[in-house]
Amino acid sequence: MGFQFPKWLKTQNNLSHIDISNSGISQSIPTWFKNFSTHLSLVNISNNQINGPIAINDYSATRVLEIVDLSSNHFYGSVPNSLFKVGALFLSKNNFSSLSYICNVSDEYYLRILDISDNQLTGELPNCFLKLKDLRALILSNNKLSGEIPGFIGQLLSLAVLNLSRNLLSGKIPTRPQLQERDEASYIGNPELCGSPLLKKCPEHSKPTTPKSKTRQVLVMVIDIVVALASPIGFFLIILFKKAKKRLCKTRQVQQANEASKNGDILSIWNYDGKIAFEDIIKATEDFDIRYCIGTGGYGSVYRAQLPSGKIVALKKLHNSEAEKLSFRKSFENEVETLTKIRHRNIIRLYGFCLSKQSMFLIYEYMERGSLFCVLSNDLEVVELDWCKRINIIIKGIACALSYMHYDCTPPIVHRDITTTNILLNSEFEAFVSDYGTARLLDPDSSNQTMIAGTYGYIAPEFAYTMVITEKCDVYSFGVVVLETLMGKHSGDLLSKLMSSSSSSSIQHTLLSQIIDNRPSPPRNRLIEDDIVLIAMLGFACLNAKPNCRPTMKLVSHQLLAPKTSLAKRFSDVSLGQLMFPTEISLNVQNYDIHSIQEIQ
């Protein structure tokens, strides 16, 4: 028997947020919820057993409501128009079957994030989405949507995140110039879609017949008829000639394909054992000469190789002594297995691998800037890593990648070694999570106990004594990386002082502006200052000693994407203690306190 909504809520008319997720509630939403409409900023009733249509009252009087999370229930039917007034609406893992209710939305609504993944949606995408002009994230994965992706997607100028994976969509992926590149993972799982490196190629349209070519075809046909009528032998000669011509064309196509492979089409390595590209790789690195080595990882060295095609790739090669060790070989195989299952614009792309007695190496896309750790350690290069790049590219990119691994992969994947060394940067300072040698697939039917893995200074404290791996281990490591990115160095000393009872009080009075990296130009834009405060607050929340009190990466990524209000305090006056205990101050960054929200699964 399920539980009901807590009756004590009826008398709490001035609540700013309600979080009764994971409570086993099966009762439908009571009518007295309308009493909260004026003051609410967050409603979270996810992960319950509520069945039926959404019976939430009108929020037309609401001015601050930012997030409504009704995911992981049994809702069906239509969505009330008033819910499109919120900033972020999460309806994943329910039983909705239609998107037609969006056509009832008026132009005045300002929804930024809409997640209706894992439902029973059918039919084509309606043009009514154009009404949601401020939409920044649209997630419709794991449904049964069909038809072609409409061109209006390109007209949603604010849209930055789109996920249409695992549906029944067909046709060619439309051009979306305003969206971030490298988003092929948004389309996988649609067998009839084409036009992306991860999908099938679109069929080439036949060239239009010109008057000249048409005249030539008619002339050839007339000659064939005349020759055939004049001599039976001529008829058979024509047939043999055409068969030979067809065979010759096919042979040339095969030769061209083989030549392309030999010239370094590294994607073809997935269809073979690495033999085709092997000679090119050996030649490009002069048999893995030390001159081409650009770094050393946890279980091998990394080399830069330029193939005959001009493509530059990175190779992670196990040394012969390491290849003989079972633990290194297992890490190698684990990284291959993990990276072949996931695709995300902020996760390093694995092109292929070679696993043989002679050599073992992985082939990745090349990252021009190297690791985040190296950039932060270089006083000259770090100046280019301004606050806008640190906020919008690095921290948000890492958060989205981890959220994808924890919530969009089945089973969930825990990285177990999130560090600045394992965050790679391309020429545009885009961040990519790499090194999946210790990654672990979470088994819901297992205790997930494992041997300790990771890097000292980034490992969650509870992992040392429980030996149980959870997503919250990655959350803790992410918190360390956040502070390191803001400070420009590892935050170990700061964390030690905060945990020490003797110095905790004094360090809490330290200003945020005093600890952030002073090598790039200081933040002078108010929006950037607000982002730094929010990110620092999220970073400290991720470092909570109690795993259950840490936010999930899903919540963190949503916070970074959601619209924000201005700080109630000046940036120069914000202290570390206020970031760690935001309930004690009026930091009005996101309209609600991150620490007071329970887990959102």
d(C-alpha 346, C-alpha 560), whole Å: 15
β-sheet bridge partners, residue 315: 303, 363
Q: CB-hemisphere CA count at 13 Å for 236?
A: 3
**Pair 538, 562: CB distance under 8 Å:** no
For residue 411, whether the previous peptide bond is cis, meaning omega lies within 30 degrees of 0, is yes
Burial class (CB in 10 A: 0-12, 13-18, 19+), 461: middle
Question: DSSP string covering 409-442, please?
Answer: SSS-EE-S---GGGEEE-TT--EEE---TT-EE-
Known catalytic membership, residue 417? yes
d(C-alpha 85, C-alpha 62), whole Å: 8
Task: Kindly give, in sequence order, each residue whose CB lies less than 8 Å from that of residue 307, ignoring residues fewer than 6 positions away.
Answer: 263, 264, 266, 277, 280, 281, 284, 313
Instruction: Tell me phi and psi for residue 312, to 5 degrees.
Output: -105, 130
Q: CB-hemisphere CA count at 13 Å for 574?
A: 26
β-sheet bridge partners, residue 67: 42, 88
d(C-alpha 321, C-alpha 300), whole Å: 10
3-state secondary structure of 507: helix
DSSP 8-state secondary structure symbol assigned to residue 270: G
Residue keyed to tokens 């030979």: 244
d(C-alpha 580, C-alpha 261), whole Å: 55
How many Cβ atoms from other residues are within 10 Å of residue 365's Cβ? 18
User: Residue 549 corresponds to which amino acid?
Assistant: C
Task: Kindly give, in sequence order, each residue whose CB lies less than 8 Å from that of residue 572, ignoring residues fewer than 6 positions away.
Answer: 511, 513
**Pair 589, 559: CB distance under 8 Å:** no
> Which of 69, 115, 280, 417 does the annotation list as catalytic?
417
The continuous run of DSSP H or E covering 475 comes out as helix 471-487
What are the CA-CA distances from residue 398 to residues 183, 309, 385, 477, 595 (Å)?
15, 31, 16, 11, 21
Active site residues: 417
